[in-house]
Amino acid sequence: MSLPSQDSYDIVIIGAGPAGLSAGLHVVREKGISVLLIDKTEPWKNPVPCAEGVGKLGFEEAVPVKKEWIRQEILKARFHAPDSNTVAYVDNFGGYIIDRARMQSDIATELSEKGVECVFGTRVTRISEPQNCTFSRVITLPDNKKITARVIIDASGPTSCFCKTEKITWKPEDLEPALFVHVENISIEPNTIHIYAGSQVAPGGYAWVFPRGENAANIGIVLGKKSRGTHTLSDLLSNFLSTQYPDVHVIRRFAGPIPCNFKKGAISLPGLLKTGDAASTINPISRAGISEALLSGGLAGDHALKMLKTSNLRNLKKICKSYEHEWNIRRGNRHNKLARVKNSMLSVPDEDYNHGAALLSKIPLEKMTMSKIFKASLGRFPRLVWALRHLM
């Protein structure tokens, strides 16, 4: 375990995931401030437990992308209905399967070169309440080592729950379990991702198959929260593999929680900004969180710099409001709507998806557009329309 070299910093970023690293890229734009990035692990030393799929548009909006981070480009998505009928969709912008370990390690190196002190393998155990009228806080590390930060960016992911005694979001309301495997000996188109829906495959969630290089893929299942007690993820995944991909060789298994929606609450306080999964920035329907974490990390970094410039409580509160407002404009408001859609969709039966897929599968791929998908399926299936009413 290494320890920070100083007792106090202007900004401390907890977590070297996409959110914390992106926050770092924004705070290093300001010269002459002391910044510490601290993580309990060195996240890129082991394979990152993530399916690594991102939409091109959101990813490129959130971070300057390097070509070395791209494992492969995705042009097509194929949806598999519960009765095995399939519908393919070509997105205008497409997506990527990225190499997260490479991305995170490259950004950490850049931060270190730009003067950020990076400490890995050291867990933060506590963040104190604000100490005095400057709103600085004390961070506790193992062996009771303490450091002080004028501003803390909490990018510690879905489960660390810092500051729960204060009026801030800390506990994910909709924490969905996910399990996936890296496999070899699979033959799928390299530019296509597959999504499987249905109460037998993944109740309340979905199964995915994302290509991962030649004859390799990552295959996983995310389970809706309400199905946790009634279904076992490992049984569902074994069943899925044996029925859909019986010849694959499993190389590694991963599990992780996906925080789909927090209870409503603040994501920042004077001197403290939560970002990424710690602020539940995941898209609650696609469960994608990488670009969202990068985007919100950038906003957190910008607002941390603003917080450094004042110790006036009123101004600090305004900065908190501005941070939340910007996030809500960029993604938050839409995510709140999607969270409500998701809850309604839980009551849409498999037969509606089967009918929808049967209808859509008759439309040639080159003529398939989002508006056609909506028109074709929604008009016929009032339960789907009802589920999607929150988007209107």
Ligand X SMILES: Cc1cc2nc3c(=O)[nH]c(=O)nc-3n(C[C@H](O)[C@H](O)[C@H](O)COP(=O)(O)OP(=O)(O)OC[C@H]3O[C@@H](n4cnc5c(N)ncnc54)[C@H](O)[C@@H]3O)c2cc1C
What DSSP line would sit under 116-134, residue for residue? -EEEES----EEPPP-STT
Q: Residue 202, interface with ligand X (CB under 6 A)?
A: no
Q: Does 260 bind ligand X (CB under 6 A)?
A: no
Length, in residues, of the chain: 392
- 15 binds ligand X per the rule CB under 6 A: yes
List binders of ligand X among 224-243 (CB under 6 A). none
Size of the site for ligand X (CB under 6 A): 37
CB of residue 113 vs ligand X: minimum separation in angstroms? 20
The Cα–Cα gap between 43 and 49 comes to 10
- 38 contributes a contact to ligand X by CB under 6 A: yes
Residue 211 engages ligand X in binding (rule: CB under 6 A): no
Encode burial over 240-279: b for 16+ CB neighbours within 10 A, e otherwise: bbeebbeebeeeeebebebbbbbeeebbbbbbbbbbbbbb
d(CA 259, CA 222): 11
Nearer to ligand X, 72 or 85 (CB): 72
Are the C-beta atoms of 285 and 261 separated by less than 8 Å? no
Scanning 42-50, 307-315, 358-366, 367-375 for contacts with ligand X by CB under 6 A, the matching segment is 42-50
**Residue 308 dihedral angles phi and psi, to the nearest 5°:** -60, -25
Positive or negative, the CA dihedral 275, 278, 279, 283 is positive
DSSP class of 263: P
Q: Is the dihedral of CA 66, 71, 75, 77 positive or negative?
A: negative
Stretch that binds ligand X, among 41-49, 235-243, 261-269, 376-384 (CB under 6 A): 41-49
Does residue number 14 form part of the binding site for ligand X (CB under 6 A)? yes
Residue 156 binds ligand X (CB under 6 A): yes
Instruction: Tell me which stretch binds ligand X (CB under 6 A): 27-35, 153-161, 192-200, 358-366.
Output: 153-161
Dihedral (C-alpha) 289, 290, 292, 294: value to the nearest 10 degrees?
150
Stretch that binds ligand X, among 231-239, 240-248, 287-295, 343-351 (CB under 6 A): 287-295
- DSSP conformation class of 172: B
Q: Does 203 bind ligand X (CB under 6 A)?
A: no
Q: Taking CB under 6 A as the rule, does residue 39 contact ligand X?
A: yes
Using CB under 6 A, pick the residue from 11, 195, 223, 288 that binds ligand X. 288
Q: Is the Cβ of residue 104 or residue 377 nearer to ligand X in the bound state?
A: 104
Out of 96, 135, 170, 180, the residue judged to bind ligand X by CB under 6 A:
180
* Interface of this chain with ligand X, residues 316 to 375, rule: CB under 6 A: none
Distance in Å, CB of 148 to ligand X, minimum: 17
What is d(CA 332, CA 329) in angstroms, rounded to the nearest whole number?
6
* Choices 5-13, 109-117, 237-245, 277-285; region in contact with ligand X by CB under 6 A: 277-285
In 223-314, the DSSP E strands lie at: 249-259, 268-269, 272-274
User: Which residues of the chain form contacts with ligand X (CB under 6 A)?
Assistant: 14-20, 38-41, 43, 49-54, 123-124, 155-157, 160, 178, 180, 220, 256, 258, 276-278, 282, 288-290, 293
